[in-house]
């Protein structure tokens, strides 16, 4: 174990194969001498905390927080229990939706909540070095990026600027949903996009797939319902 990551919880073999030694030599985030205790130490416990936090958010019973308390302590390190791959949508704020304080969630956001190379590297870092126990790919209802991709596939249009890159990247996940029948197409596309990216992360070698196989990490999908704030696993 390195000084940077005393609670990493995976083998040195994997650590070095994954090149995490290089990460330790050039730490990106949180050069801790003393890491704070992790709130959840297993994937199931981490998922439970997320869902319990979301239930408080839905009921509008968020825990009262003093954001200045613990700020100085957090400067020495972090031990987030979960990572979220969420949409950039302004209405879906992970820390609020899961009622979690600073230091608990490692969050990657991009319109359409899909895996990008940079986002993947961030999630690998979160899992392998910071020790996140669960990754949730978090989509939401009425997602503009998903709807734009669906429309672009249907009409064959090209969106301006780099928005076209988003659509291109999301197309493989959403295209199959267009061929299915039943239910609402927009919702089918949101779910298909989440599931596609969950699978992508679960199978990504060497870091995430090995952690999943070893029971150290779970990758799950969720959809946030805009009107109620409730997150359902999909």
Footprint on this chain of Zn ion (rule: CB under 5 A): 87, 89, 143, 145
Q: At what angle do helices 144-155 and 185-202 cross, to 10 degrees?
A: 110
CB 105, CB 82: distance < 8 Å: yes
Q: What are phi and psi of 161, to 5 degrees?
A: 55, -145
Q: Please, which residue, 105 or 190, has the CB nearer to Zn ion?
A: 190
Question: What 3-state class would DSSP assign to 55?
Answer: helix
Q: Give the nearest distance from C-beta 219 to Zn ion in angstroms.
A: 19
Q: Please, which residue, 8 or 145, has the CB nearer to Zn ion?
A: 145
Q: Give the nearest distance from C-beta 128 to Zn ion in angstroms.
A: 27
- Sole residue written with tokens 């050039």: 26
Q: How far apart, in whole angstroms, are the C-alpha atoms of residue 61 and residue 152? A: 40
Q: Give the nearest distance from C-beta 100 to Zn ion in angstroms.
A: 20
Q: Please, which residue, 75 or 233, has the CB nearer to Zn ion?
A: 233
Determine how β-strand 231-233 pairs with β-strand 218-224: antiparallel
Q: Give the nearest distance from C-beta 189 to Zn ion in angstroms.
A: 11
What strands lie across the sheet with 82-86, from one edge to the other?
105-109, 82-86, 134-140, 218-224, 231-233
Q: Give the nearest distance from C-beta 139 to Zn ion in angstroms.
A: 7
Give the pair of three-digit tokens for residue 71. 């700020």
């Amino acid at each position: 174990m390195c000084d940077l990551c005393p609670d990493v919880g995976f083998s040195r073999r994997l650590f070095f194969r994954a090149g995490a030694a290089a990460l330790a030599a050039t730490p990106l985030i949180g050069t801790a001498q003393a890491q704070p205790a992790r709130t959840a130490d297993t994937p199931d416990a981490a998922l439970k905390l997320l869902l319990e936090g979301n239930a408080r958010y839905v009921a509008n019973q968020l825990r009262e927080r003093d954001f200045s308390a613990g700020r100085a302590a957090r400067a020495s390190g972090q031990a987030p229990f979960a990572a979220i791959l969420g949409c950039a949508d302004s209405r879906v704020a992970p820390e609020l939706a899961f009622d979690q304080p600073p230091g608990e969630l490692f969050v990657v956001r991009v319109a359409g909540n899909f895996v990008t190379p940079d986002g993947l590297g961030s999630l690998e870092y979160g899992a392998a070095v910071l020790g996140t126990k669960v990754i949730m790919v978090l989509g939401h209802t009425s997602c503009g990026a998903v709807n734009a991709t669906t429309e672009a596939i249907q009409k064959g249009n090209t969106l301006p600027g780099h928005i076209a890159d988003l659509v291109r990247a999301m197309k493989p996940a959403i295209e199959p949903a267009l061929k299915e029948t039943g239910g609402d197409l927009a919702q089918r596309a949101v779910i298909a996009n989440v599931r596609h990216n969950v699978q992508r992360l679960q199978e990504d070698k060497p870091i995430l797939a090995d952690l999943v196989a070893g029971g150290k990490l779970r990758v799950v999908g969720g959809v946030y319902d805009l009107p109620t704030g409730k997150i359902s696993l999909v």
